[in-house]
Chains A and B, each alone.
Chain A
Amino acid sequence: MHNFTNKKILNWNAYLQLQAQNCKDSRLKTFYKTGTYHDDTLLKDIEFVALDFETTGLDPKQNSIISIGLVPFTLNRIFCNQAKKWYVNPQDKLEEESVIIHGITHSDLKGAPDLRRILNQLLDELAGKIVVVHYRNIERDFLDLNLRALIDEGIIFPVIDTMQIEAEIQNKQIQGFFNWLKGKRPGSIRLGNSRLRYNLPGYQPHDALTDAIATAELLQAQVSYYYSPETPIKNIWL
């Protein structure tokens, strides 16, 4: 498998166009054809969509997505009236331990659609927007590998990872001799802990839509603290 997480894609638009030509699934073709922003586009001109999954476990090869939450937003506004949430019928078994984490039970998933059945709607929401996640290894890898298992083709697109942004900020803040001397350690970059540093309220975690909204709020806060509406997207997308 490709390890997209660490691979730097230099020209996302060209890459997506190439994918559009090469892929077989018509839904993916449409998605790729929509393309993405030019890499000099300013953050203030971008439509984002915050995305969060709940999964049956942490291994994208063995576990699967059971809930998807997303909310479109801009630097100024998060549009709750366009928020979406789905439960997804998993390919593997729903284990007791994961139920404890996300609180999604078998009865919630009873009658929930297969990922293939909502793929159209999901890609429709993401197409042309910049996907924002907190910890891309989950959302990116799960979608890619779950799709490979189901339709034999993966998916890849640019994302902004608020956790990566937070990690870089934290690392920057502990640089320098004095910080080393003071034994300063980077703060936690989990979603809830990161939010606290921007005085964002605490939410009940592990609901896909709540986490998506929480991620959108976090990006607004990070940009207002450390970037500007005039920052080009190429500086923070991955």
Chain B
Amino acid sequence: MEVELLEIQDFISQHAPFDQLPEEALADVVRSVEISYYRAETNIIDFKDDINELYMIRSGVVEIYRRNGNLYNRLDQGKLFGQMGLLTSNKVRFPAKTTKDTLLYCIPGSVFYDLCDRFESFADFVEAEDSTRLKQAVENKSDNGNALTTSKVKTLLTREPLILPSDSSIQSVAKIMAEESQSAALIKDPSIDDQEGYSFVGLITEHDLCAKVIASGLSVETPVSEVMSTELMSLDHNAYIFEAMLIMLRHNVHHLPIMKNKRPIGLIEVSDIIRYESQNSLLFVSSIFQQQSTEDLAQLSVQLKDCFVRMVNEDANSHMVGRAMSEIGRSFKQRLLELAEEQFGPPPIPYCFLALGSMARDEQLLVTDQDNGLILDNSYDEKLHGKYFEKLSHFVCDGLDACGYVYCTGEIMATNPEYRKTQTQWETCFTDWIDNPNPKALLNCNIFFDLTGVYGRVKWAEQLNAFILRRAKKNNRFLACMARNALNRKPPLGFFKDFVMENDGRHNNSINLKRRGTAPLADLIRVHALAIGSQSQNSFDRLEDIIEAGILPKSKGADLRHAMELISLVRLRHQSLDVESDIEPDNNIEPENMSDLERRNLKDAFLVLSNAQNFLKYRYTANKF
């Protein structure tokens, strides 16, 4: 009697490597399945147990561990485990444990071996997986574990924390911190004899010394207990690095004591995490500089997507991904410029190659066009030097296009003679924009207010930025114009199962999260940033400055930060999913592809954006002053 196991058949046939099997072979697999339910936090198989089955996760999450207890892999729906043991010794190589309630399909070893024998694609899959995992294991070992999600915070610790009594003077604490080159110290109660710091009561950082002591002219003889932070967050040494990152972001702290058995064993800083994460992309950056031609670079650029997907899968936040992707984009530019100078000879006069827009803001994701320009030395002479910079610009922009950074449709590129200006010409240009603001003219030059130098005399870009800030800060007419333009793109009203509800009641079946979400947010943040003369370029950094300046209603700054992070994360995740399913990634998202939670969160984020736009309208009106 043929029994149709509909649900099991459907599920297995959708997942690799079974999706490659012919129907009869698949039917044999389906019929052989045994099902087993495991509650969260249950061991499924232990090291050195006999193993005679392949496991497929029907639902839930399973973590695979190394012998030493370190996390090796985290698997979810449709993933397999146990093949390593089956292929080698029939002993469990990596113990497995559920972290969520899990339903497993258990496929007998005999069926597994039979499939390996009969189907090359199947054998390739289970064995190849094996080798890439091994490679991953080796790489992890060489740089001390790479993934934020699979490495523990304790791997970041290099030394014991400084622990000082709270009745010490600020000066003595600062002195010890300087001697030990530590940027923070834990403070303990002096009445308790506790060298280990079990009872620490506070934390003091360089920032506290600066903000609470120097800035307010407090005597350095004051006991440190008066300036230390006492609202302390801490984390167990076995927590994952990304958890540390989340806590720091959520509570906006830069130092976190790491605890082991209630004793602080170290302090980690934000910069520890960032340094750690960037190793991932550092590898990619270093290979960019080894390429010898545009063709080589174009070939390498294909891997950019994988690098991106890996970061997203490792739960890097949008700030980190944006930074890494921008760094990579800048590296492509720099290498192309080096190659151009090799080909056309050294430049006749100094210049600075500019990146504009998202790359300057450190907010680049996958789908992005190129926006760039040139600052030329004031000695520039069109007749003498024009040809050289034209050739150089075309070489770089064509190269960027070949590497996936498509030409800018608005022609904001160094190939456009408009955007190859001398230092003085740029200053005149910005002066004109700022002093004689006209919404229409400013509409297309938003992008110039996010600007950074990537090659050559990068100092000139900083000088130009400083020039812009000085002029823009107090110019209400200009700010009002920028504010008006920042209101052009309104967020939608809400999301339903399969459509986006627009403000005028129209239904759309997809939404461009860049055009309708992150871009208007960046626009809005830029206006505030210009108003307070913030030197930051990144939207998150700008927001910090804006919050500090106190021009936003209470807690609205944090709301904006969360909204920006959320919309960016959804964008990241969907681009990454597109790449993984071999679809050309874009910024459009169909609500039917979002989870209920995403829809709800996005709706909240868009509400924050909408309110912030209203506030912007009210704050920057030309005739108010």
Contact = CB atoms under 8 A, between A and B. Distances in A.
B364 to A, nearest CB: 37
B59 A201 contact: yes
B1 A216 contact: no
Contact of B37 (A79, A80, A207, A217): A217
B498 interface: no
B38 interface: yes
A81 B32 contact: yes
A89 interface: no
A48 to B, nearest CB: 13
Contact of A85 (B4, B30, B58): B4
A80 B6 contact: no
A176 B58 CA distance: 37
Given A199-B59, A199-B101, A224-B39, A204 B6 contact: yes
A209 B3 contact: yes
A199 to B, nearest CB: 4
B7 to A, nearest CB: 5
A213 to B, nearest CB: 7
A213 B3 contact: no
A147 interface: no
Given A80-B5, A84-B1, A200 B34 contact: no
B232 interface: no
Interface in A58-98: 73, 76-81, 83-85
Contact of A77 (B1, B31, B36, B100): B36
Contacts of A81: 31-34
A207 B3 contact: no
A76 B7 contact: no
Contacts, number: 70
Nearest to B101: A199
A216 B4 CA distance: 17
A84 B31 CA distance: 11
B60 interface: yes
Contacts of A85: 3-4
Contact of B101 (A73, A80, A198): A198
B513 interface: no
Interface in A173-211: 198-201, 203-204, 207, 209-210
Interface string B1-30: 101111110000000000000000000001
B59 A80 contact: no
A200 B6 contact: no
B5 A76 contact: no
A146 interface: no
Contacts of B30: 80
B1 A217 contact: no
A124 B30 CA distance: 24
A76 B36 contact: yes
A112 interface: no
A224 B31 contact: no
A220 interface: yes
B622 interface: no
A167 interface: no
Given A84-B1, A199-B60, A201-B103, A78 B7 contact: no
A84 B3 contact: yes
B224 interface: no
Contacts of A138: none
A204 B5 CA distance: 12
Nearest to B39: A224
A85 B1 CA distance: 9
A225 B39 contact: yes
Nearest to B31: A81
A80 B59 CA distance: 17
Contacts of B58: 201
A42 to B, nearest CB: 18
A80 B34 contact: yes
A155 interface: no
Contacts of B103: 200-201, 217
Contacts of A220: 36-37
A214 to B, nearest CB: 8
A120 to B, nearest CB: 14
B367 interface: no
A221 B37 contact: yes
Nearest to B105: A80
Interface string B92-114: 00000000111100100000000
Contacts of B101: 198-200, 221
Interface in A36-73: 73
B443 interface: no
A43 to B, nearest CB: 13
Contacts of B36: 76-78, 220
A23 to B, nearest CB: 28
B551 interface: no
Given A199-B59, A201-B103, A77 B35 contact: yes
A200 B3 CA distance: 23
Given A84-B3, A203-B7, A209-B4, A217 B35 contact: yes
B39 A210 contact: no
Nearest to B33: A80
Contacts of B1: 84
A154 B561 CA distance: 69
A76 B103 CA distance: 11
Given A78-B35, A80-B34, A216-B35, A209 B60 contact: no
Give the residue among A81, A210, A216 with the most B Cβ atoms within 10 A: A81
Given A204-B6, A209-B4, A217-B103, A80 B31 contact: yes
Contacts of A209: 3-6
Interface of B: 1, 3-8, 30-39, 42, 58-60, 100-103, 106
Question: Which 10 A-B residue pairs are closest in the complex by CB-CB distance?
Answer: A199-B101, A78-B35, A220-B37, A201-B59, A77-B34, A224-B39, A80-B33, A203-B7, A221-B37, A83-B3
Interface of A: 73, 76-81, 83-85, 198-201, 203-204, 207, 209-210, 213, 216-217, 220-221, 224-225
11 contacts: A78-B35, A80-B31, A81-B32, A199-B59, A200-B103, A201-B103, A204-B6, A209-B3, A209-B5, A209-B6, A224-B42
Given A199-B100, A199-B102, A225-B39, 20 more contacts: A76-B36, A78-B35, A80-B31, A80-B33, A81-B32, A83-B3, A199-B60, A200-B59, A201-B58, A201-B59, A201-B103, A204-B7, A209-B4, A209-B5, A210-B7, A217-B103, A220-B36, A221-B37, A221-B101, A224-B42
